Structure 1
């Protein structure tokens, strides 16, 4: 809708010193000609938007201008007042501020709008916790948030997955990412950008030293690159099919979950009343063998055939060891 686009243009110009027509068009996914018509419409409506010519020119809003956007549609009010992701912002130390903001908006909203929002809240619940996994320790998130916003370097004790004990690292915190209920710190350390699981930070201190982000750095784009690289199939990944007794299905799912590649699907075989057919991609071949062998006769690998052979050899070796 044009009204939404006009509001978006005002918000974009408020957040930046100046933007060209092409930059606005790319952000709004419209043509530059449409942006020019929208700028004319804003000017005609009394919005103090002006153009700066030159190589670094563009459109700007008069400093201090504020638009009245208090009139919310029912759907917009539901997004605000029935927002169910407050725990994400609470992790960052912003939960009370969000609630205060919503209370202020609610005080001016019609009763019918609030009733619609309550109706939505009654039928939607968000649980960010992973199955069978304890929640991460997020007590350092508010401090990391402030350090990232202020471009302040931090020193942290961090215990990686393969570390016997925590190690000291001094990093430049570029930003924070919440992924499936876990928080990650994207930071610069010793010449490269790395990710750190916030739950593995054991202690943290903010230094007086500041840092500068690389020109053109985009947190969203950098995270997507790192995620793609992480999820790229590795040489040791293996996809297999196996039959599992229905009595042990829940335990098998629970045992396999931490070692599966993201996006793995599990199919149910409706033809067998006493078993289910599962298809999984494991990160590590030997992890698949060890996990499934632990269920003995309740699990049978069907494919690939070479894995069946390897599992038989591993089982024989284990039996020989314990018989001795």
Structure 2
């Protein structure tokens, strides 16, 4: 991703007097144009980079400039390494491992053991239980399109099951709620949308169709799943007394209210959609919907349909 690529370029320029843009592009598997955009971003961050023309030219740090070794403390470096390790659980890239090794090399040998301890305290594992190679391929393909500013073309199935053909400008990959999305400008809808990668089929990058990056909208303006506070209803669930451990997988202990018959009540606001129905049904006979009444009817009807299948 862009952050680790920028950090890697900075470290390479510190350790080498001059580098060729084409060599950097090959190393990070991006275009030369992307490397020059990265150089502009590094310059804007206050690190002076100079490009030298000619046969023996290239990219290097301004004469006499040195990055202060103490610019980042060991705690800050440990935070970066921890974040990279966590990202790598769901999105493996050779550059992630290379950057972590470089970060480790910056630490003074005397602090190495304490540094390793700090980077091992927390690991946020985003990886799914199944090894989804198709998802990894989509991530790599979309990132390539983002780096080279090329359109993506795909078939998309929305939450209602409607299937459409889409052409879009990919801008940002987002991991939210254990699901990967791409924030892209949809040419069909003429606005930014969030597309869930698992719902994208026949994904391809159009090598002949490029775009210029647009200013990203505020998060609240992104059209994705149609849910907001105004569309949420309060749902009251009653868990059987022996199912408290199941309830605690999804709710804080403070949210579980005991009843006289040793059951547990939970009140929570949810948008009513297919996810909510599936969520409630996943608890089987351990949970009962008390409110709203119409939701009881929906769950009862679906449970009856499931029973009919197995009869």
TM more than 0.5? yes
Give 1:229 shift. Answer: 8.2
CA shift, 1:163, in A, is: 2.9
- Tell me, in whole angstroms, the C-alpha distance in 2 between the residues paired with 1:225 and 1:86: 31
Cα pair distance change 1:89/1:147, threshold 3 Å: farther
Q: Is the 8 A contact 1:137 1:198 kept in 2?
A: yes
Residue pairs, 1:1-324, within 5 angstroms: 15-16=40-41, 64-65=61-62, 66-71=65-70, 72-81=72-81, 83-89=82-88, 91=90, 95-128=93-126, 137-163=135-161, 167-189=164-186, 190=188, 191-207=190-206, 208-214=208-214, 217-218=215-216, 221-226=217-222, 230-235=226-231, 237-250=232-245, 267-269=255-257, 274-284=262-272, 291=280, 299=288, 301=290, 307-308=292-293, 311=296
Q: CA deviation at 1:271?
A: 6.7
Q: In 1, distance between residues paired with 2:204 and 2:289? A: 51
Aligned counterparts of 1:124 and 1:151: Cα–Cα separation in 2: 35
The answer to whether the 8 Å contact 1:91/1:141 transfers is no
Is the Cα–Cα contact under 8 Å of residues 138 and 199 in structure 1 kept in the other structure?
A: no
Greater displacement, 243-252 / 147-156: 243-252
Residues 149 and 112 of structure 1: CA distance in aligned 2, closer, same or farther (over 3 Å): same
Contact 2:151 2:209 in 1 (8 A): yes
Cα distance per residue 1:46-103 (max 9 Å; x no partner):
x979xxxxxxxxxxxxx8425323334221232244x15435257555x321221222
Compared CA separation, residues 137 and 249, structure 1 to 2 (3 A) = farther
Query: Aligned partners of 2:279, 2:107: CA distance in 1, in Å?
Result: 59
CA distance in 1, matches of 2:120, 2:68: 27
Q: Which residue in the other structure is 1:38 paired with?
A: none
Q: Structure 1, unaligned stretches of length 5 or more?
A: 1-9, 25-41, 50-62, 258-262
* Corresponding position of 1:260: none
Report the count of equivalent residues: 250
**Preserved CA contact (<8 Å) 1:238 1:284:** yes
Compute the TM-score of the two structures, normalised by the length of structure 1.
0.59
The C-alpha deviation readout for 1:256-309, integer Å capped at 9, x for no partner, is: x7xxxxx999712257683222112232289669947x96696362x5xxx358
Is the CA contact 1:177–1:184 (under 8 Å) kept in the aligned structure 2?
yes
Cα separation, 1, equivalents of 2:91 and 2:252: 30
CA 1:88–1:194: 2 relative to 1, 3 Å? same
Distance verdict in 2 for CA 1:202–1:228, change over 3 Å = closer
Matched residues in 1 for 2:240 and 2:43: separation? 63
Find the aligned partners of 1:223 and 1:106 in 2 and give their Cα distance. Answer: 35
Give the unaligned 5+ runs of structure 2: 1-9, 11-37, 50-59
State the structure with more CA Rg.
1
Q: What is the alpha-carbon distance in structure 2 between the residues aligned to residue 160 and residue 177 of structure 1? A: 18
Give distance in 2, aligned partners of 1:96 and 1:289.
Answer: 38
| 1:265–1:279 contact (8 Å) kept in structure 2 | no
Distance 1:92 1:121, change over 3 A: closer
1:311 Cα deviation from its structure 2 partner: 4.2
Distance verdict in 2 for CA 1:155–1:265, change over 3 Å: farther
Offset, 1:145: 0.9
Query: Cα 1:224–1:243, aligned 2, differ >3 Å: closer, same or farther?
Result: same
Match of 1:107, SS state, is: helix
Mapped to 2, the partners of 1:290 and 1:89 lie a distance apart of 29
Q: Secondary structure at the match of 1:144?
A: helix
